[in-house]
Chain A
């Protein structure tokens, strides 16, 4: 038999039918939905007079549009409230399980899916949100879809998709102190640009990847979309299995050991061919930060903004426009640049480990006076964990207030906006113009780098604050 990649194995096992000269009809095991990209899909069902085909395969949450303060009160913004209410109505009407606002398991869709055991190795997973790629960390084919496709999946549990090409990215070597999985993925995106993996599904491998925890792996797969990839995945291994073993009741899994036997088969054959292969050396990676308005415009925190983009001799108009928006000049260093906001949260870095890392640096120190911090757990469960591990006190003593879970300032649909012209070091995934509010200037970084900025009030090298050796989980 022909050698297959993990991606091929999962994909081929889910093809209901291949259309000649067209896309495959792909069966979807798990469908996540949220309030922003689902209402028009439900309207479509209604217009057609049809039901949800397999309501049990769909899980819903409210996350994008909800406030992160006073969640028990009615949502003030009328449009947002309407959207969240419509989600509840639709879930009730069509029999879909909803972890909505104020539910004890509410949270960002890509945080709660894995932590509640809905994301399992070998699955096909879609959601009307591009960072669905996060779930690939469990050895799944997971990708973001548009609302028309949400409607397709609701109506038929299938989606029409052309099969993407396959890329393998290997990262070998040891990470230095203070360097996290966020830095790995930002480094890769800066190397290959935001379009570098367009048309591909990426499998990540190598010793620097397999030594990462599940949380750290999710950060990598989460941002694989930022290099244009359809998604990213990592073969499941003992780290994956022990993460899953800790979940008390995995929905749909009655015999864990039997499932485990099947999950263990999920890997690329040794001689499987990829359309493209890239290799990186983890020991060359330093803490990263972005200086422009797309995630490809990133560099080591202690280096200088390049004079031109890519191999160009002259800076392009788009490059200069981007720097102009950020208020930066080509060639300058960013260390010491004053910062106004720090945001820790989102489906990229809103998990318990991220808050532990942030705490590692702020413990025993104080928030800088010029900093407004938005500290937003990815889910209720993360919030509870923070409390039980005593992190809430650490944050409080350092002068930080912890908000309630949600997407918050990652996309600024709610009130958590960064004002025009202000600088925010953010652990989220996109530094687009206006992403965190009209005119807001976003600098993407890891929780360590965000913490260093939060206590110094300026862009700082987090390595200076990490004294405890061997305490680096990621």
Chain B
């Protein structure tokens, strides 16, 4: 759960520009048999990262030592498909702390925020520009200031304000946990149950 605090993040980025990357690409179903949250990073983008023989696929960006960093810059419509939180665990476990796209699937967005991975939506144009900047210059750095909700490409000075639900922002900044919050409301929940005009 979101006990991870998020403050200011300045890092280089990894660019994976493909559109419509679904959760089966992020973590294929055959790696979902574990019963803990750890270790999924090893299988992040598994079928792109490794050849059928099991050898690393040199052409895939995660195997290219020139690129690295804590920010994953993805393509449009990222994270559609299954509700598997394993997708977010894999991205987080690999070492990413923020993921940038021009469009995220709903469940993926919620799962990210619940696990301390910050999803940032920027415009299609800026996303395109960012991908080509990173591909040309792997040392391209981004600064993410959650408090101010500012997303800045340091080399070009492009800076945009991003949107985040104020409640979720608070949770991330303070490292608060939704379940602790809900548990503190037990009386209201029981009260609701008692009053409920049962629809059934």
**A contacts, CB < 8 Å to B:** 10, 13, 16-17, 19, 21-23, 25, 27, 29, 36-37, 39-40, 43-44, 48, 50, 53, 64-65, 77, 79-80, 82-83, 86, 120-123, 128-130, 132, 144-149, 151-152, 155-158, 160, 162, 164, 194-195, 198-199, 228, 230, 252-253, 259, 262-263, 266, 293-294, 316-318, 321-322, 411-413, 420, 430, 432-435, 438-439
A432 and chain B: residue at smallest CB distance: B24
CA distance A356 to B36 in the complex (A): 41
| Residue pair B179, A48 in contact (C-beta under 8 Å) | yes
B85 interfacial by beta-carbon distance below 8 Å: yes
| Residue pair B52, A420 in contact (C-beta under 8 Å) | yes
| Residue pair B33, A80 in contact (C-beta under 8 Å) | yes
| Residue pair A148, B85 in contact (C-beta under 8 Å) | yes
| Residue pair A86, B35 in contact (C-beta under 8 Å) | yes
CA distance A216 to B178 in the complex (A): 37
| Residue pair A194, B34 in contact (C-beta under 8 Å) | no
B130 interfacial by beta-carbon distance below 8 Å: no
Question: What residues on A are CB-neighbors of B36 within 8 Å?
Answer: 39-40, 43
| Residue pair B25, A259 in contact (C-beta under 8 Å) | no
| Residue pair B47, A434 in contact (C-beta under 8 Å) | yes
> Can you report 24 A-B residue pairs in the complex whose CB atoms are below 8 A from each other?
A17-B188, A22-B167, A23-B165, A25-B182, A25-B185, A43-B35, A43-B36, A64-B29, A83-B34, A148-B179, A149-B110, A149-B114, A151-B179, A152-B182, A195-B103, A198-B103, A263-B199, A318-B18, A318-B19, A322-B20, A420-B52, A432-B25, A434-B47, A435-B29
Interface positions, chain B 78-92, Cβ under 8 Å from A, are: 80-86, 88
Q: For the side of the interface on B, what is the size category? A: 35 or more
Q: A318-B18, A434-B24 are in contact. Are A16 and B1 (CB under 8 A)?
A: no
As a 0/1 sequence over residues 173 to 199 of chain B, the CB contacts with chain A under 8 angstroms (1 = contact) are 000001101110110110011001101
B105 interfacial by beta-carbon distance below 8 Å: yes
Q: A22-B167, A198-B105 are in contact. Are A152 and B178 (CB under 8 A)?
A: yes
Secondary structure of the A contact surface, majority rule: loop
CA distance A178 to B52 in the complex (A): 40
Q: A123-B200, A156-B186, A194-B20 are in contact. Are A228 and B179 (CB under 8 A)?
A: no
CA distance A150 to B179 in the complex (A): 11
The contact of B165 among A22, A37, A156, A433, by CB within 8 Å, is A22
- Which of A123, A195, A317 is the most central at the interface, judged by chain B CB atoms within 10 Å of its CB? A195
Question: What residues on A are CB-neighbors of B192 within 8 Å?
Answer: 16, 27
A13 and chain B: residue at smallest CB distance: B199
| Residue pair A316, B19 in contact (C-beta under 8 Å) | yes
CA distance A434 to B22 in the complex (A): 11
The contact of A16 among B19, B30, B188, by CB within 8 Å, is B188
Question: What residues on B are CB-neighbors of A164 within 8 Å?
Answer: 106
| Residue pair B185, A156 in contact (C-beta under 8 Å) | yes
As a 0/1 sequence over residues 96 to 123 of chain B, the CB contacts with chain A under 8 angstroms (1 = contact) are 0000000101110011001100000000
B28 interfacial by beta-carbon distance below 8 Å: yes
| Residue pair A16, B165 in contact (C-beta under 8 Å) | no
Question: What residues on A are CB-neighbors of B136 within 8 Å?
Answer: none
| Residue pair A146, B199 in contact (C-beta under 8 Å) | no
CA distance A16 to B191 in the complex (A): 9
Q: A294-B22, A433-B25 are in contact. Are A148 and B33 (CB under 8 A)?
A: no
